[in-house]
Amino acid sequence: EAPGGVVPLTNAASHAIDDPVAGLARDIGEQARCASNHQGTNSADVSKIIDSTPCLCSWSECVRIALMGAVTFPICVVSAFFVLFGSVIGLGLSQFPPNTRAEKHGLGAELLSDDNASLVRLAFDAAIDLRDHGGLLGLACRPFDLSVMYLFGDDGPDFHDALRQAAQFEHDMLASSGWQAFCASTSEESRDFCSRGVSFLNYALPTLIVYDNEVVPDMLTLDGRGPTSMPLDTVFHIIDQHRLKDVVLPSDYDVAEARAPTMLRSLFRFKFPCPSFSTTAQRSEHRAELEAAWETFARETVFPMLQTAFRNEANNDGIKVYFDGTHFEGIAVSVAVWECVPIAIGCMVCVVAVILFFTRRYAMAVGGSALAILSILLALVAFNVMSGSNAIGLPALVSFFLVPCFAIDVLLRYTDAWRDSAHHHTSDVDRASWTYLQAGKGTLATATAGGVATLANLASSSRHVRAIGLSLSLGALFSWVTISAVYVPLCLVDERYGGVCCASGWGGCRPRPPSESAKSLRSARLAGFVPGAIHQWRASVCMTSAMLGVLCAVVACWHWTQDAGVANLFPKAHNLNEGRLLHSNFVSGHIALPLDASAPPQQVATCGVGTSSIDGGETCAFSWCEAHRAFVEVPDLPSVYCRCYRSGETIECREDDGFATVLSRFVGIESLSKLEFREVFETTLVGSLEDLEAKGLSTDAPQIAFANTSLAPRLLQIWETSETKFEPVLQIKNSLIRRGSAASCGWQTECFCGPYECKLNSSWSRLPSVSSLERLRPAQVPVFGSRFPQERHAIVEVVFGIDLDLVAPLVGMVDPTTMWKFNTRFQIKQPAAQRDLFTFCTELPAFLRVTSRSCWIEDFRRYILERGERFPLPESRFDDSLFAFLTSGGSTILRQLWFSEGELMASSVSFEVDVDERAGVATILQYMNGWQRHVAAFSAASRQTGGAFITSTVLVSASRHWAFTKSVAITICITVPIVFGCLVVSLRHWVLPAFAVISAALTTLSTVFIMQLAGWSFSHVELFAVVLCSTWALDPAASVLHAYVSEAALAGGFAEHEGKRDTVLRLSRITYVWKTTARALIVGGAAKLGVAIFLVFSGMDLLRKIGVTIMLVSPIAVFAALVPLCAALLMVGPLHPGTGCRIPRAFLGVIVQSCCSRCRQAKVLVAGVLNSDVDKGTLERQV
């Protein structure tokens, strides 16, 4: 309106200007004309005015130029971006090829933690692994073990029937072609370990080899294929004879009780030839090839059979089958990842269906789903680059499920904005600009808030949680980038060249104008009715929602229960969890069955009556005879009734031998005193004096070479009834004087001291019975009082001679072998170090409550003293004495020692303490602090031992729980202010972000309340799922607030409402929210519900819990945003949002001023126009 000013161009004329330089010239010229305020300004003044005019339009004009190119050539833009993103993904995947071997990269089933106690345990386990397998060379040739465990329930079949079922399962497993082919590739000398294995079933169900048509077998083939099971005491005897008790039976099982065990283990070992290696690279390559072959065999052959048995077959008969093996944890994770592929495909189908339902356009549905997949792959590539890993583990899996939830929110917002743009603009450039202005800013704010919320998980102590947080944060970022770059041109391509799914058919019809769409009219009526209803009941809605939310929050916090157990990716009923718990009852496989152990014999021989040699030596595992019942046993009879028989066959001897040998065997007696045997011998076994004189033997007192020689037990079997009795056999040897060369050489006697006796041939004669022997009872072991049962006692291990380097990266994998090394200050050869270590073991303070200990230095000291030497040993004699000790029977303590090149480098001692391993976290941490103080004081006082550290599984569990809980609190403290700041910047208001944060908090706590009603206890998995899904509790509220502050909220509908000005303003904004945002939020919530339903069917407990949490959070968050939040805004919402925290536009102008190189060209053009002497019409035409 200034005098002489240029008349502004009409809208039609402004749309007709296509030259961006002319458009810039017009805008700057108008500014210069208004600034000069009159005609006739000279050139110098005009130039000064133009030079001082900032190019505030440069950034917007650059964007407009880009939009003009995008709307002119949309197909080229879409194709170019797809090619660009595809090239980046291809380059990244070529540099980091995907690898699903999760355990190799440190991602097992447990949610690994990087707290100090967990890292110490990780390093300690790595040191044990190196020790048990003979160093690096041993690791390269380390065999692969497979353990199959059976748990027999009380409601299952008879124990012997259960054994036959388990044996049939093992036979089918060993007979499979994959098993036989892989076993054939192992070394020949150890092939029996995989072709037969070490199994209780082989001993319990042997094949009987019988000769001469007898009923008593001469040989047992231990193959588990026998029709009937052996008596348990017989089986226990053979297993104990082969030293396999710790392999097949639980460590606390007492074979003396001869009761049916409730759990068994079969161990199969695959040992390959170990060639010599000249370089470390060759050793690593050989090990990698073996591991790859083992994992392929386990995944394709072992896992299908064992998982079927675990889930279906054996469980139906009351037998539970569990399994574990080398690398099985990582293989199980890898298998679970591949099992989730169909679920992931189902999730993507759900996403496509939701987008198609919302847009009714094929191109937008397919293109939007492709953008979601591109976002996942870009996030995967970026994560691999940042972590230096190519593992397709848990982060990639979680991203594949959850990144589409970020993407679909952005897609729906852009779709609604693109549709709404047709109500405000007609040109494609203005519609695109409107879409980016309305949807781009809001989705950027929500994507940033979501990305920051997930990125804050980098403060977690869990390695898995940090990796998932970073992966999801990258996924949220790339979802916004890819969709913002491609989706608007894609919408334009679809409108120009594609059809829609409308009421007349699927495709082929052009889109109707918005004003003529019946669906739009119905949506508009609904969007006008619901805000009016909320407005009418706004106070009641606000108060009721606030009271319910606060009540749920208070109850959730009051009844908060947290599980301190080790967090795991799989449910508690999974094989890895229950099987690991069951496996803890057995001795570790490489300890129970040493790596250099030879395979047990396939057959064992049995002996008959009277086949033992004179000196007590035997060539059979046990003796077996057909028996009959002599009398009915009386359990509490104070004495033993024995029936004795003498063999008519004499023992061979030389003519010049001066003594005759009499072998007396007592079946059912474990020991006899010398006095008892003399009485029995003189009254029963010798017989009458006439018999002795007839045999040419002296009647003088016999010379008794008294010794309780225990022979192999005897199995007495009644063939008719199949009753059996397994009895101990005691042999006593004594001599009688021979009176000549023709005298008898001696004989054998058999006394059966029980209800059964063997059927003897006619050469045996009956002797007088014995009834004066006292019944022998097993000694009772005294049981001392304890605060807690022994099976719940904690174990504390103290390690000497190892230095730790506990460094873990923020993201990425940890190599535990680099976290420890031998401590050169550990000088155990020095007498002072030996003395200090012995003192440490024997002089423990009472507050540590040690109930038992295993200290190798005590056994070594006892050995030294028994040899008549003094302890501690001088340095020069230590190595030889230690080697002699280990070779003389001290090999059981090798598990406490580390050697390098024949020299003792480190050692550990373990203590069983009277502390409940199920105690609370605070109790365990307080107790372990006492141990740490004691060990620290010892390390400071003993310089020769070089320091020590403690480790314990209960300490790891408690420390991991405390560290994770603390890191969750830190994550929340980081997330809330950053998200609040992001919303302040995007909303340009200080109060509105508080609405979003409060809404998200109450939604999350309401979800926790519902979980508590369902009986959940919050372990790390549930806690992480809640923290992670709180992102989707914030998104709907943020979307509503961005629509509320939009300038378009007051356009068009302001005059339709009656009432006070404040009420009309707020109601107009809420009506706009419902018109533009409600449908997208509801459909987006439905899409998340669809994804969550698929997640619930996942085999991983973490994905399942995330799915359940999303199912609860999504509908609650959408409802809270559209109803209570809108009601609150109708009551106290700001009237003019965006004015209280406005960023100066001049500041942004200075930043982006140099971005537009055409600005200077426009200034030159304006200067030339203003200095020319033309009328206004000519000036307007030139501009």
Q: Letter for the amino acid at 695?
A: K
Cα torsion angle, 928, 931, 936, 939, sign:
negative
**DSSP one-letter string for 96-148:** S--B--TGGGT--SB--B-SHHHHHHHHHHHHHHHHHTTHHHHHHT--EEEEE
13: three-class secondary structure by DSSP: helix
Q: Which pLDDT band, with edges at 50, 70 and 90, does 479 fall under?
A: very high
The average pLDDT across 301-305 equals: 87
Q: Do 99 and 333 touch, CB atoms closer than 8 A?
A: no
Q: For residue 596, give the DSSP letter.
A: T
pLDDT at position 314, please?
45
Stretch among 433-442, 620-629, 692-701 having the lowest mean pLDDT: 692-701
Better-predicted residue by pLDDT, 94 or 617: 94
Which amino acid belongs to residue 1087?
A
Q: Which of 266-280, 311-325, 698-712, 963-977 has the lowest mean pLDDT?
A: 698-712
Question: How are beta strands 622-629 and 703-718 bridged, if at all?
Answer: parallel
Whether the predicted pLDDT of 140 surpasses 70: no
Q: Please, which pLDDT band fits residue 1056 given cuts at 50, 70 and 90? A: very low
Residue 268 has pLDDT above 90, yes or no: yes
Query: Above pLDDT 70, what percent of the chain?
Result: 77
Which amino acid type is present at position 596?
D
654: pLDDT strictly greater than 80: no
Query: How far, in Å, CA of 809 to CA of 32, rounded?
Result: 59
**H-run or E-run covering 441:** helix 441-455
Q: What's the mean pLDDT in 875-885? A: 86
Count, in order, helices (H) and strands (E) of the chain. Answer: 43, 25
pLDDT for residue 707: 55
701 Cβ contact list (under 8 Å, min separation 6) = none
What is the pLDDT at residue 1137?
80
Residue 1051's pLDDT band (cuts 50, 70, 90): low
Q: For every residue of 450-494, which 3-state class applies, written as one string?
A: HHHHHHHHHHCCEHHHHHHHHHHHHHHHHHHHHHHHHHHHHHHHH
Distance between CA atoms of 1087 and 1107, rounded to whole angstroms? Answer: 12
SS3 185: coil
Lowest mean pLDDT among 35-49, 685-699, 755-769: 35-49
What average pLDDT does this structure show over 476-497?
89
Which pLDDT does position 767 carry in this prediction? 79
> 852-888 burial, b if ≥16 CB within 10 A, otherwise e?
ebbbbbbbbbebbeeeeeebbbeeeebeebbeebbee
> Please, which residues have CB within 8 angstroms of residue 240's CB and are 6 or more apart in sequence?
255
Q: Is the pLDDT of residue 824 over 50?
A: yes
Average pLDDT over residues 702-728: 74
Mean pLDDT along residues 268-291: 80
Q: Which region holds residue 657: left if phi is over 0, alpha if psi is between -120 and 50, else beta?
A: beta
Residue 482 has pLDDT above 90, yes or no: yes
Which of 876-880, 1035-1039, 1131-1135, 1165-1169 has the weakest average pLDDT?
Answer: 1165-1169
Nearest alpha-carbon partner for 1118 in 978, 1006, 973: 1006
Q: What is the mean pLDDT of residues 699-720?
A: 69
Report the pLDDT averaged over residues 476-484.
92
Give the per-residue pLDDT at 632: 63
* Residue 32 amino acid letter: A
> Exposed/middle/buried for 347, CB within 10 Å: 0-12, 13-18, 19+?
buried
Taking the C-alpha atoms of residue 1160 and residue 1165, their distance in angstroms, rounded to an integer, is 9
> Is the per-residue pLDDT at 76 higher than 60?
yes
With 50 as the cut, is the pLDDT of residue 506 above it?
Answer: no
Indicate if the pLDDT at residue 285 is higher than 70.
yes
Q: Is 596 exposed, middle or buried (0-12, 13-18, 19+ CB in 10 A)?
A: exposed
pLDDT exceeds cutoff 60 at 995: yes
Range 434-450 average pLDDT:
85
Task: Give how far the C-alpha of residue 898 lies from the chain's centroid of Cα atoms, to the nearest Å.
Answer: 30
User: For residue 1008, what pLDDT is reported?
Assistant: 87
Q: What is the mean pLDDT of residues 1091-1114?
A: 86
Q: How confident is the model at residue 483 (pLDDT cuts 50, 70, 90)?
A: very high
What confidence score (pLDDT) does residue 688 get? 59
Do residues 6 and 33 lie in contact, with contact meaning Cβ atoms separated by under 8 Å?
yes
* CA–CA–CA angle 653, 656, 660 (5° rounding): 45
- pLDDT at site 1011: 85
Q: What is the pLDDT of residue 623?
A: 84
958 has a pLDDT exceeding 70: yes
Token representation of residue 1076: 């533009």
pLDDT value of position 773: 56
Average pLDDT, the chain: 77
Separation between Cα atoms, residue 63 and residue 23, nearest integer Å: 14
More confident residue, 768 or 839: 839
pLDDT for res 15: 38
CA 53 to chain centre: 63
Give the pTM.
Answer: 0.74
Instruction: Give the pair of three-digit tokens for residue 1087.
Output: 């899409």
115 phi and psi, to 5 degrees?
A: -70, 165
Cβ atoms of 1065 and 1051 within 8 Å: the answer is no
Most confident of 169-183, 239-253, 280-294: 169-183
The span from the CA of 645 to the CA of 4, in Å, is: 144
pLDDT of residue 556: 77
Give the model confidence (pLDDT) of 590-612 as tens digits: 778 877 788 888 888 888 776 65
Give DSSP secondary structure letters for 375-391.
Answer: HHHHHHHHHHHHHT--B
pLDDT at 372 > cutoff 80: yes
User: Is 439 in contact with 503 (CB distance < 8 Å)?
Assistant: no
- The whole-angstrom separation of Cα 321 and Cα 313 is 9
In angstroms, rounded to a whole number, what is the distance separating the alpha carbons of residues 596 and 141?
Answer: 12
pLDDT band at 266 (very low <50, low <70, confident <90, very high): very high
Q: Are 717 and 676 in contact (CB under 8 A)?
A: no
- Residues above pLDDT 90, as percent of the chain: 6
512 pLDDT exceeds 70?
Answer: no
- pLDDT at residue 103 greater than cutoff 60: no
Q: 892 pLDDT band (50/70/90 cuts)?
A: low
Pairing state between β 793-800 and 903-916: antiparallel
Closest CA to 911 of 1044, 798, 1079: 798
Query: Mean pLDDT throughout 619-635?
Result: 75
pLDDT at 110: 63
Answer whether residue 524 shows pLDDT above 70: no
**DSSP state, residue 855:** -
Q: From residue 318, how far is each of 153, 173, 433, 543, 1015 by CA, in Å? A: 6, 20, 68, 55, 28
Per the omega criterion (within 30 degrees of 0), is the bond before 217 cis? no
pLDDT at 509: 41
pLDDT at 609: 76
| Mean pLDDT (whole number) for 527-552 | 83
Q: How far apart are CA 293 and CA 182, in angstroms?
A: 9
Strand partners, 900: 903
Is the distance from CB of 741 to CB of 723 less than 8 angstroms? no
- Residue 760, pLDDT score: 85
327 versus 112: the higher-pLDDT residue is 327
The residue with greater pLDDT, 279 or 644, is 644
CB neighbourhood size of 648 (10 A)? 12
Q: How far apart are CA 1066 and CA 1045, in angstroms?
A: 10
Among 280-284, 696-700, 1043-1047, 1146-1150, the range scoring the smallest mean pLDDT is 1146-1150
Min mean pLDDT across 300-304, 576-580, 865-869, 951-955 is at 576-580
- Whether residue 239 is predicted with pLDDT greater than 80 in this model: the reply is yes
Q: Which of 1026, 914, 893, 878 is nearest to 453 (CA)?
A: 1026
The CA distance from 974 to 457, in Å, is 9
Give DSSP secondary structure letters for 657-694.
--EEEEEEEEET-S---HHHHHHHIIIIIS--HHHHHH
**Average pLDDT rounded to a whole number, residues 822-846:** 88
Does the pLDDT value for residue 1155 go beyond 70? no
Mean per-residue pLDDT for 877-889?
Answer: 82
